[in-house]
Structure 1
Amino acid sequence: MDKYLVRRIEAPMLTLAVALLLASLGNAKFWSVLVLAAGGFSLTSLPVLAGSFLIVVLFFNACLTLASFRYVAKPVLAVLVLAAAAASYFIVTYGIVIDRAMIQNVFETDTREATELLNWRMVLWIAVLGGLPALLIARADIRFPSGVRGLFERIRRALGSLLMAALVLALLFKSLAPMLHEHRELRFLLTPTNFVQALHGYLRNRFAADIVVAPLGRDAVKGAAWTGQARRTLTVIVVGETARAASFSLNGYARETNPLLARQDGLINFTHVSSCGTATAVSVPCVFSAFGREDYSQSKAERQEGLLDVLSHAGIDVVWRDNNSGCKGVCDRVAFEDLSRPTPGAGHCGGDECHDERLLDGLPELVRGRGKDLVVVLHQKGSHGPAYARRHPATFSRFGPECETGEFERCSRAEIQAAYDNTILYTDYFLSQAIDRLRQMAEQEGVDTALLYFSDHGESLGENNVYLHGTPYFFAPREQTEVPMMFWMSDSFGARFRIDRRCLAQRRNEPLSHDNVFHSVLGMLDVNTAVLNPRLDIFHACVRDA
């Protein structure tokens, strides 16, 4: 058997063969998008498409040639073909693209969420497109050019490939330039350059010099609304997960996914809200920062305090309760409760995860125990995919038949949509329960209560054959960037902070974004600080004179 698996091959031939393999089988999605960008496959577009393929092969060959050294070539080539096979599976199956944010999600997603993506189709895909070529590379008897002469030969071959690629690019530039400009997503689809570049960016940022967090809003103080008040306040901020505005019946969706919220007295639903990012690892740090989407970067957010810190400086206790994969650094300096893992006696849990209702357990006791004005952040599991059916109790499977697995290829788009809609139905119940409890605390325990809900990002459910989320923002579909946001307050909260509910309701159809959250939370709680921008505070124009 071994004699059939072991083949003697010259190093230049091996690198060229691997370059051809990566450019072809590992990039089906890239070429399908390029064909569309070229106006379809025809005799007219054939020179551009063939030339593009030659450019990619020559570029890959140049890069691989520089790695074709003994003891280096085999592991590098084997890892590349395996990683490329894995990347191509997710790109083709879910329509995702790979950038630094996606790599960050891979590293920061917990094990339970990651296992939902594993299935036999994925294993077979990677085994055939990656495992088999990696095995052949490992068993090959490679002849390498040796010595200084061999080094110069590698350089000559690499430069030759690059020069040929540049020549073809120059000849086709007039045709390729507008295509690449109009379809910037192509650079995130070309495997393995996409994940190599993204991994490099993530690791460079991850292992940069020690982070020094700069203070923010140290001048924050409670305003006049707090003076002489004996009643405590409880403000609940619910950070939704993967909930898209398009699937909320409050926003006009045909299915009644919000039957309970629609009947909540005093609830204000904002209908036109855009997210800061398309993935949790971007949106959550961004929405709690003072930067706003245009100025945000992970590096800047990590190096400056955020909204929760400013609230703490003003003398308000902050608690983060999590049923997700953490707060992405936002809650590092406030109290943190991980409620995502089942514990003995814990309610609302099953298997290896808990449903969002657990975030409400012990909320009144938490308020009583603290004895201070309190902001509680509830980080939902929400509608996190692909195993949507696991995000809600079985009693919420109203829409169906629903997809009961994370393997989308085994379900129709309608079944996937139904499973997702059931998660929104459960979020409707969860938020309604939260509001009911806050209303009860206001009436029976003398606590001024309010709730602000927004989702971190949306979700694609097969529109244009794209699923899940994480598409780079500049060409992300609106299903991933348009998110729900709503606000409720008790009568006593509104009276205390002089918030005109009717005025606020009149603003519900205005264009808003995650940029408004930082300033609006400070504004509605009458926290005075130089970092508050009244123009971004949605409550500012609706505060009545004392």
Structure 2
Amino acid sequence: MFTLKNNFKLLSFVLIMSVLNFLFFHYPFFNFVFKNIDYKSVSGVFLIISLIILMLVLNALVFLLFFYLSRFIGKFLLVVFFIFNAIAVYFINTYGVIIDESMIGNMLNTNYEESSSFFSMKLVIYIVLLGIIPSVFIVKSQISSLTLKRFSTITSLALFFIIFLAFINSSNWLWIDKNSKTLGGLAMPWSYAVNTSLFYVHKHQKNEKEILLPNATIKDNEKSIVVLVIGESARSENFSIYGYQKNTNPLLSKINNVVHFNAVSNATYTTAGVKSILEHENTDDLYEILPNYLYRNKIEVIWRTTNWGEPPVHIKNYQNKEYLSTNYNGNNGNYDEILLSGLKEQIRASTNNKIFIVLHASTSHGPTYNKKYPPQFEVFKPVCNSVELAKCSQDELINAYDNTIVYTDYLLSKVIDDLKELKEFKSTMLFVSDHGESLGEKNLYMHGIPISIAPKEQYEIPFIVWLSDNSSKQLKSNNLLNQNHVFHSVLNFLSIESPIYKEEMNIFKPTISN
């Protein structure tokens, strides 16, 4: 029976591991390089050769350090790297993502229900062929030791060579710096190893203490209610009220006082997008978010969610999917319709004149778009039934996604119907998405591309507003909105005075007193 040699000198072994790591996991990296440089020029050829050599030498040097410190640590880390590399490259190849810090945050904040939707046989094949089989070879290999003198000599020469290679590529530094985020997000295993560390460092810094906003004042006792519906992965391009040719908004298009605005998100992933919707300005700091701020200032706040990824919410009435399911008797408990169950009754039971409600939906989140709506909303057919979106035709994929927009249209119309019945309240509904979605354009799927290089499909979002007839509010002629407009517009509608309020970020016209 043929068996691979499993006795290696340490230097030979780490070089082999570096070559395998290069061959197995760096097609996306060099595919990006080839697409973004003139690879036929002398400078382009030199850069490509330099990047190959640099990657091989640098990875071998780091692997050498691990194994010199401990054979067990070295083998353990290499096994982890190969398995995680396989998973990372699967997502890069299948969905066109980049494993940067924001994507790491997206992955770490994903719940089980959502993460399980990505499972496929292709993922298993990646893990087995590129992860487990090399890991067996790594574990069984017998590796000789290295003297301190030889280790010091090798590492010194390698470091000198890396510095020299970087120096002679000084003419390419500008290109590398310009594309550093993408290159770093495609280099294995450092894309997720470094960015996971950065994510936790920044998360710790942000969560040290929530920065409280200055106290607010309620200016009147008028019964007012705002319902903020946070959409998930909804892009404005596929809403017929924005001009889309397929009728994805059969209900909203017939309702009076519904207005839509062009808008953009501040991020392309859920955690940052939801944070932007709830904060008074776009910032990396953890300021007090809108529901917490209103609740602390004596406003009735209700948060209902079938989703995840929001900043810490400090209110009494936080109701997740499990909580809502206990009181739901309908047939669509697995869908976002559960957000509306008993909502009118909860509002009427309140003794507060000012009410703010957040409905955090999950309706258009991929890759299983076809499972995000009840069967009766499958208006456009045939639909994509695979989590490997590239296997579906463009028509099938878009049909499945468009059906989620039809279902969103239904949900928003139901919210409006409920508010219309609460005639004692002046009310408004705001629908704003956390980010957009790629559906195969430029071979990209879903979302999460860094906002600086993201396609418009991932950041052009719907911003839809409905006003009750008795609200006495009118809307400004807003040209282009962003997610931070929500915070100030809610303050305005509920007649809340605050030192951090910005009139230019409010979508409503000033009310003229009689």
Q: Answer yes or no: is the 8 Å Cα contact 1:10–1:142 preserved in 2.
A: yes
1:520 aligns with 2:498: no
Structure 1 partner of 2:186: 189
Q: Answer yes or no: is the 8 Å Cα contact 1:400–1:415 preserved in 2.
A: yes
Match of 2:336 among 350, 356, 362: 356
Deviates more, 1:32-41 or 1:95-104: 32-41
Q: Answer yes or no: is the 8 Å Cα contact 2:324–2:338 preserved in 1.
A: no
- Per-residue CA distance 1:321-366 (angstroms, 9 max, x = gap): 011125331x23342001257846634566xx72111111101110
CA distance in 1 between counterparts of 2:11 and 2:196 reads 27
Structure 2 partner of 1:339: 321
Match of 2:388 among 375, 383, 407: 407
Match of 2:345 among 365, 389, 412: 365
**Relative to structure 1, is the Cα distance of residues 522 and 388 closer, same or farther in structure 2, using a 3 angstrom cutoff?**
same
CA distance in 1 between counterparts of 2:256 and 2:232 reads 24
Structure 1 partner of 2:132: 131
Query: Percent identity among equivalent residues?
Result: 28
Structure 1 partner of 2:34: 35
SS of equivalent to 2:81: helix
- Per-residue CA distance 1:49-68 (angstroms, 9 max, x = gap): 22221111111112111111
Structure 1 partner of 2:145: 144
Match of 1:305 among 280, 288, 294: 288
CA distance in 1 between counterparts of 2:411 and 2:372 reads 12
1:500 aligns with 2:481: no
Match of 1:484 among 444, 447, 462: 462
Aligned residues: 511
Structure 1 partner of 2:273: 283
CA distance in 1 between counterparts of 2:182 and 2:299 reads 44
CA distance in 2 between counterparts of 1:43 and 1:305 reads 54
Query: One-letter code of the match for 1:400?
Result: K
Structure 2 partner of 1:422: 403
**Relative to structure 1, is the Cα distance of residues 334 and 473 closer, same or farther in structure 2, using a 3 angstrom cutoff?**
farther
Q: Answer yes or no: is the 8 Å Cα contact 2:9–2:145 preserved in 1.
A: yes
SS of equivalent to 2:386: coil
SS of equivalent to 1:386: coil
SS of equivalent to 1:29: helix
Q: Answer yes or no: is the 8 Å Cα contact 1:348–1:354 preserved in 2.
A: no
CA distance in 1 between counterparts of 2:125 and 2:299 reads 53
Structure 2 partner of 1:235: 226
Query: One-letter code of the match for 1:382?
Result: T
Query: One-letter code of the match for 1:476?
Result: A
**Relative to structure 1, is the Cα distance of residues 90 and 318 closer, same or farther in structure 2, using a 3 angstrom cutoff?**
same
How far apart are residue 101 of structure 1 and its match?
1.9
How far apart are residue 15 of structure 1 and its match?
1.1
Structure-2-length-normalised TM-score: 0.94
Query: One-letter code of the match for 1:398?
Result: V
SS of equivalent to 2:209: coil
1:259 aligns with 2:250: yes
How far apart are residue 187 of structure 1 and its match?
2.0
How far apart are residue 315 of structure 1 and its match?
2.3
Counterparts of residues 36-115 of structure 1 (less than 5 Å): 36-40=35-39, 45-68=44-67, 69-115=70-116
Structure 2 partner of 1:432: 413
SS of equivalent to 2:349: helix
How far apart are residue 175 of structure 1 and its match?
4.0
Q: Answer yes or no: is the 8 Å Cα contact 1:314–1:527 preserved in 2.
A: no
Match of 2:170 among 156, 170, 173: 173
Query: One-letter code of the match for 1:93?
Result: T
CA distance in 1 between counterparts of 2:373 and 2:512 reads 41
CA distance in 2 between counterparts of 1:189 and 1:306 reads 33
Q: Answer yes or no: is the 8 Å Cα contact 1:323–1:339 preserved in 2.
A: yes
SS of equivalent to 1:269: strand
CA distance in 1 between counterparts of 2:126 and 2:495 reads 56
Counterparts of residues 3-22 of structure 1 (less than 5 Å): 4=3, 7-22=6-21
CA distance in 2 between counterparts of 1:203 and 1:451 reads 35
| Structure 2 unaligned spans of 5+ | none
Structure 2 partner of 1:536: 505
Structure 2 partner of 1:392: 373
Q: Answer yes or no: is the 8 Å Cα contact 1:244–1:482 preserved in 2.
A: yes
How far apart are residue 168 of structure 1 and its match?
2.5
Q: Answer yes or no: is the 8 Å Cα contact 1:322–1:340 preserved in 2.
A: no
CA distance in 1 between counterparts of 2:229 and 2:3 reads 60
CA distance in 2 between counterparts of 1:87 and 1:14 reads 24
Q: Answer yes or no: is the 8 Å Cα contact 1:38–1:179 preserved in 2.
A: no
SS of equivalent to 2:308: coil
SS of equivalent to 2:208: coil
CA distance in 1 between counterparts of 2:56 and 2:172 reads 19
CA distance in 1 between counterparts of 2:330 and 2:394 reads 29
1:222 aligns with 2:215: no
How far apart are residue 257 of structure 1 and its match?
1.1
Q: Answer yes or no: is the 8 Å Cα contact 1:276–1:514 preserved in 2.
A: yes
- Per-residue CA distance 1:482-538 (angstroms, 9 max, x = gap): 110111111222x2xxx224xx3x33xx01101211111112221001111112122
Q: Answer yes or no: is the 8 Å Cα contact 1:234–1:450 preserved in 2.
A: yes
Structure 2 partner of 1:162: 159
**Relative to structure 1, is the Cα distance of residues 349 and 406 closer, same or farther in structure 2, using a 3 angstrom cutoff?**
farther
Aligned-residue RMSD, C-alpha = 2.2
SS of equivalent to 1:72: helix
